[in-house]
Amino acid sequence: MAEKSTPIRILASTEQVPILQRAIDRRRFLSFAAAMGGTAFLAACSSSGGSTSSAPVATGGALENSLSIYTWGDYDSPEVVESFTSDFGPKVTFDSYGSNEELISKLVAAKGTSGYDIIVPTGAFIPQMIENGIIQPLNKDLLPNLEHMDPAFLGRSWDPENEYSICKAWGTTGFVYDKTVITRELKDWNDFLDAAQNEASGRTSVLDDPAEVTGLYYWANGIDWNTTDEAEIAACEDFIVNTLAPHISAFDSYPGGQAIPQATQVLMQAWNGDARIGIMESPDPDRWQWVLGAPATELWMDNWAIPVGAPHPEAAHAFIDWTMVPENQLLQVDYIGYHTGAAGIEEAASEAGLEMLDLVFFTEEQIATMRDGEVNDAQQANVDIWNKAKAAAGA
Amino acid sequence: MRSLRLPSFALAIPAWAWLVTFFVVPVGAVLYFSFGYKPGIFGTHATDVLSFDRYAEALSPTFFEVFMNTLWVGIAGTLLCLAIGLPVAYWMAVKAPANRRGLLIALVMVPYWTNFLVRTIGWQIILAPEGWMSQLLQTVGITEGPLEILYTRTAVLIGVVYNYLPLMILPLYVAFDRVGPALREASKDLGANRVSTFLRVTFPLARPGIIVGLLLVYIPLMGDYITATVLGGAQGNMVGQLVASQFQAAQNWALGSAMAVLLILVIMVSAAAIGLQLWLVSLPFRARNRVVLEASA
Amino acid sequence: MTTTAPETTTDAASRAPEASAPRTTDAPLARRARRSPVDIGLTVWSVLVFLFLFAPIIVILVYSFNNGRLLIAWNEFGFEPYRALWEKPAVRDAVAVSLRTGAIAAVLATLLGTLAGIALARKPGKWALWFIGLLLLVSVTPEIVDAVALLPWLVFLGQDAGLSIFNDGTVRLVVGHSLFSTAVVTYIVRARLVGLDAQLEEASADLYARPLTTFRRVTLPLAMPAVLAGLLLSFTLSLDNTVVAAFVQVSGSTPWPVYVLSALRGGLRPEIAAVSTVMLLLTLAALALVAVVLKRAGDSATQIARTMSGG
C-alpha cells in the first residue's frame, strides 16, 4: 500500500486526527519494540476527546474475559465459537450488520469507542478503513496459525502485507439457470446476457449491488471491472440500462434463499456459496446448473480485522488464530459454505463428505480469472447506472 | 385553591422537546450537508463549499421516473388499505361484541410482532409457483397454470397492503369508536336508514380518524422502499431506494440529503394535492346538521 | 361500548320502507333477530381479512418445525430449529433486546404522544400548526436519513458532551424507535379527542374539579382507546425498526430485525421461524398479562368513559 518513505496524506475530519495520529505513532512503536508492556505508552496517549477508555494493544498477555465480534449474521460455526470459549475462556458476543457501508459509518462515527473487538469487512473497503484510521494493525506474533493459510489468499491488493486483515472467507460470482427452461448450455457471461434477453426475459434476477450489475457488462466484454474510463462507463450504462434492464424482474442478492428452491426465476446471477445452498436445498437439484462467470469474474473476500479502540485485543487475536486451526477451518467451511482460504482444505472437505465442492473450491485457472474489487472514482457512476437499471426494469 | 395556569401548549412540551432534540437537530445537520459535496472517494460529506449543485443533480429524469412509480404504488396501496380496512374497522367498532373489542385490536396487531422479513418469507411460501397453494388453486380450477403473482405489480400491492393495513385499521377503529352508538341511534330515531346514518353521521364524524389513517399509510409508504420490492422485485422500485443508495452504496451523504429533501417535498405536495381532491369529493357528505345532533345526544 | 341489542332493534325498525316506527326500548326478544345481509357481509369480510393477516404467520409457525437447512425449503418435520435456537446466544440476546427496547419505547412514545395529542385537540393555538408540521416531517423523513443523522449526534452527546447515558445501547435504541411512534400516537389521540365535545371537561371544571383531576378522570379515560391503540402500535413499530436500529446499536445490543437482515447472507435457517414463534407467544403472554392488570385496575376508568360516551 503506501510506501513508508513518502509522506502519507490522509483526508479526515478534525475529530479523527488525534486517532489517526495515535494509529501512526503506535505502528512505528510496535515495529521496533513489540514485546514492551504498553502501559506507560497508553497513559501518555489517552484520548482528549472525552472518551475515558484508552485502547490496549495486544502483546501476548493474558486473555480478557470477553470478546465482542461485529460481523455478518450467522457467519461462524457455533462449534468453533463454543470450543474457543471452553478452551480459552473469553465469552463471545456477536452483533450483526448488513452492509460494509453501515459498518464504516458506525466505526467512523464512534471514533474508536464502538466497543467491538473484531470486525469482518469485505476487502474492497479495507483501503478506506485504513485511510480513515478505523482498523489497527494485527500483531502477527500472536497469529502462528497463519502458516495454515493458503498464500494465494493472503496478500491481496487491498492489504498486500496482511498488516490489517486476514482472509476469513472468499467467494466469487457466477450464475444459475433452470435447465428445463433454458435447454441450451450456457457457458459464460455473454451467454447469460443473451439468455436474459431471450428465454429468460422477465424471469431473470441479478445481484442487488452496483458493482455486480456493471460487472456483468465489463466481465462479458473483457474490460477491467474497476475501470474509471468514461467511455467504457458510458458504454456500460447504455447496455445495462437500455438493453438488459427491461428483461430483469428482480434485483436479488440471495437467490439461494428463495428463488432457487422455489424456482421463481429461471436465470439468476448469484454468489457461489448462496447458489450452492439453494441448489442443495431445492426439491429438484438436477434442474439447476451453476456456471462460474467467464471469461472474468470477481473474487470478493471477507476479512478478519481489529478496529481501533478494541477493548480486548488479546482475546481478539486469540480468536482469529483459533479459527485458522485446520479442524476449525473445516467446520467453518461446512457451516457457511464458502472457502476460508486455508491450505489443503479441499482434500479435507471431500474426505469429510461435503457436497457440491465445485461450488466452493476452484482450480488455479479459474481463480486466475477472478479479479479483486475496488472502491474508486467509478463508484458514483456505478450507483447511478444501478439506479437507472432499477428504474428501467420496473417500468 | 389556585390552579396552575399553564399555557396552552404546555402538555405538548415534552414531545416537542424530545422531537427537537433527537430529530430536528440531527436531521437538520444532515440536511445542511445537502448543500455540501462528496470530498473524494473515501469521504462521505464535506460542507466547506456550499451550493445547490446537489439539488440539480438530484432532479434527474430517473428521480421523476421512479417517483411516478412510487406515486402509483403509494396511491393504489393507500386506497386498497382503506377499502379493505374500513369495513373491518367499522365492524370492530360497531358490530363486534363490546367485550371482544380489546381482543380484536390485539389480534390485528399480532401478525406484526413477527419480523417483517419473516412475514415476507411466509408470503413467498404461500405464493410460490410450485408450492402447495398454487397446486391447490390449480386442482380446484381457480387458476390455470402455476401461480404467477410473485414479481408482479399485484405482488407489490399485496406486500404493501399487508404491511400497512394495521396503520389504517387502528386509527379507523378509534375514529368509528369515537362516534358512539348514541348518535347513531339518534339518527335512526329521526328516521334515517342505515346507509344514510353511515354517510351523514358516522362517516363525517369519523373523518379526522380516517384522515389520520390515510396519512399514516400514505406518507411512510412513499418513503419506504423495501416493502414494495420484497415480493414485487423490480416492479416495486420506489424513490426511497434512490435516497438510501446514496447514503449506503455511494457514500455520498450530500447527494443523499438533497434527494431526501426533494422526496420530502414531493410527498408533502402530493399528500396536499390528494387531500384537496378528497376534501372536494367529500363535501357533500359533511355533517351539516352537527349542532342539532349533538344537542339531542 | 354497548351491546348490539339496540342496534338490531333499530335495524329491524329501519328496514321498513317508511322508517318511522317508534323504537321499543327494551326488546330482549329482538336481541337475536335476523342479522341483516350487511351485518353478515361485514362479519364475513372481517374474518377473511383476519385470515389474510394471519396467513403468513401460520405458515411460519408450520415451517418452524422444518428440519432443514433453509427456512423456505421444507425438508421434514422435526424440532431441530427449537433445539438449535437454544445453542445460539446471539439469537436469544437479539430477541431480548428487541422486546425490552420495544416495551420501553412504546411506553415513552405513548406518554409523549398522549400529552401532545391532548394538547393539540383541546387547546390548539398558533403553535399547533408548527407542531403538526413537525410531526409530518417526522413521518415523512426516510428512515435512512434518521439513522445517518442520529448516530453521530448520539455519539456526540455520549462522548463529547459527556452524557454517558447515550452510550447505552438500550437508550439509543429507545431514542431511535420513539421518534416515529410519538408522531403516530399524537395523531391517533388527537383524532380521537378532536370534535369529541369539550363539554364533559367543562362540566368537570364547573363541578370544581382541579385541572389535574379533570385530566385524570375525564380527559384520559375519554382518550383511552386511542392511548391503548397507540401503545400497541408503537410497540409493533418498534419491533420492526431496522434501519435506525442498525445504525445506533452498540456492542451487545443487536436488535432482532438487524440480526435477521444480516443473516440473509448465509441463507435464513428455520431457527428464525422458531424464534418468531417463540416471540409471538411471549408477546401474547405479556399482552394477556397487561390486559388482566388493566382490567383489575382500570375498571372504574373505562366504566366512566363508557357511561359518559352514551354506552
Q: Do residues A113 and A53 lie in contact, with contact meaning Cβ atoms separated by under 8 Å?
A: yes
Cell triple for A203: 424471469
- The pLDDT score that the predictor gives to residue A8 is 55
Average the pLDDT over B207-222 and give the result: 88
Dihedral sign of CA atoms B29, B34, B39, B41 in order = positive
Q: Rounded to an integer, what is the distance from CA C12 to the centroid of its chain?
A: 37
* B252 in any annotated domain: yes
- A302 backbone dihedrals φ, ψ, rounded to 5°: -95, 135
For β-strands A297-307 and A267-271, DSSP reports them as unpaired
Q: Do residues A8 and A130 lie in contact, with contact meaning Cβ atoms separated by under 8 Å?
A: no
A210 CB neighbour count, 10 Å cutoff: 22
The domains of chain C are located at 1-34, 89-308
Specify the 3-state DSSP secondary structure of A61: coil
Q: Do residues A214 and A244 lie in contact, with contact meaning Cβ atoms separated by under 8 Å?
A: no
- The answer, for A386 touching chain B at a CB cutoff of 8 Å, is yes
Buried b (16+ CB within 10 A) or exposed e, A75-94: bbbeebbebbeeebebebbb
Predicted TM-score of the model (pTM):
0.84
User: Where does the pLDDT of residue C301 fall: very low under 50, low under 70, confident under 90, or very high at 90 and above?
Assistant: very low
The structural domain count of chain B equals: 1
CATH fold, domain A171-299+362-394, is D-Maltodextrin-Binding Protein; domain 2 (3.40.190)
Q: Does pLDDT of A342 surpass 50? A: yes
Neighbours of chain B (3+ CB pairs under 8 A): A, C
**CB interface of B with C, residues 185-214, below 8 Å:** 185, 188-189, 191-194, 205, 208-209, 211-212
Task: Give Cα separations from C176 to B112, C195, C255 (angstroms).
Answer: 19, 32, 12
Q: Does pLDDT of A298 surpass 70? A: yes
- The pLDDT score that the predictor gives to residue A301 is 95
Cell triple for A368: 486466475
- The pLDDT score that the predictor gives to residue A10 is 56
Cell triple for C36: 341483516
- The pLDDT score that the predictor gives to residue A16 is 59
Q: What is the pLDDT of residues A360-378, one digit of tens each?
A: 999 999 999 999 998 988 9
Cβ contact A261–C267 (<8 Å):
no
User: Where does the pLDDT of residue C19 fall: very low under 50, low under 70, confident under 90, or very high at 90 and above?
Assistant: very low
Q: If DSSP states are collapsed to H, E and C, what string results for chain B?
A: CCCCCCCCCHHHHHHHHHHHHHHHHHHHHHHHHCCCECCCCCCCCECCCCCCHHHHHHCCHHHHHHHHHHHHHHHHHHHHHHHHHHHHHHHHHHHCCHHHHHHHHHHHHHHHHCCHHHHHHHHHHHHCCCCHHHHHHHHHCCCCCCCCCCCCHHHHHHHHHHHHHHHHHHHHHHHHHHHHHHHHHHHHHCCCCHHHHHHHHHHHHHHHHHHHHHHHHHHHHHHCCHHHHHHHHHHHCCHHHHHHHHHCCCCCHHHHHHHHHHHHHHHHHHHHHHHHHHHHHHHHHCCCCHHHHHHHC
- The pLDDT score that the predictor gives to residue C174 is 94
- The pLDDT score that the predictor gives to residue C92 is 86
Cell triple for B259: 434527494
Q: What is the pLDDT of residues C37-78, one digit of tens each?
A: 888 999 999 999 999 999 999 999 999 999 988 998 888 899
CATH 3.40.190.10 boundaries in chain A: 14-170+300-352, 171-299+362-394
E-strand spans in A278-336?
288-292, 297-307
B103 CB neighbour count, 10 Å cutoff: 14
Distance from CA of B25 to the nearest CA of C (A): 8
Superfamily designation of domain A14-170+300-352: Periplasmic binding protein-like II (3.40.190.10)
Specify the 3-state DSSP secondary structure of A303: strand
Q: Which of A68, A256, A336 sits opposite C251 (nearest CB)?
A: A68
- The dihedral over CA atoms of A320, A322, A326, A328, expressed in degrees to the nearest 10, equals -100
Q: Which of C55, C232, C310 sits opposite B109 (nearest CB)?
A: C232
Give CA–CA dist A272/A257, Å, rounded.
13
Give CA–CA dist B99/B158, Å, rounded.
31
Q: What is the pLDDT of residues B230-278, one digit of tens each?
A: 899 999 999 989 998 998 888 888 999 999 999 989 898 998 888 888 7
Shortest CA distance to C117 belongs to which of B208, B185, A60? B208
Q: How many CB pairs under 8 A join A and B?
A: 97
Instruction: State the CATH number of the domain containing residue B120.
Output: 1.10.3720.10
CATH fold, domain C89-308, is MetI-like fold (1.10.3720)
User: Where does the pLDDT of residue C297 fall: very low under 50, low under 70, confident under 90, or very high at 90 and above?
Assistant: low
Cell triple for B177: 369508536
Q: Which residues of C touch A111 (CB under 8 A)?
A: 155, 159
* B5 in any annotated domain: no
Average the pLDDT over A23-51 and give the result: 39
User: Where does the pLDDT of residue C88 fall: very low under 50, low under 70, confident under 90, or very high at 90 and above?
Assistant: confident
Q: Where does residue B290 fall: left (phi above 0), alpha (psi -120 to 50 degrees), or beta otherwise?
A: alpha
Q: Which residues of C touch A93 (CB under 8 A)?
A: 89-90, 93, 251-252
- The dihedral over CA atoms of B69, B70, B76, B81, expressed in degrees to the nearest 10, equals 160
Cell triple for C289: 398479562
Shortest CA distance to A16 belongs to which of C155, B24, C161? C155
| For chain B, percent of residues with pLDDT exceeding 70 | 93
Neighbours of chain A (3+ CB pairs under 8 A): B, C
Q: Does pLDDT of A24 surpass 80? A: no
Q: Do residues A268 and A276 lie in contact, with contact meaning Cβ atoms separated by under 8 Å?
A: no
Q: Do residues B144 and C288 lie in contact, with contact meaning Cβ atoms separated by under 8 Å?
A: no
Residue A116 corresponds to which amino acid?
Answer: Y
- The answer, for B144 touching chain A at a CB cutoff of 8 Å, is no
- The pLDDT score that the predictor gives to residue C303 is 52
C291: Cα within 13 Å, side-chain hemisphere:
16
Q: Which domain holds residue B272?
A: 60-296
Give CA–CA dist B184/B202, Å, rounded.
7
Give CA–CA dist A322/B180, Å, rounded.
68
Average the pLDDT over B189-208 and give the result: 83
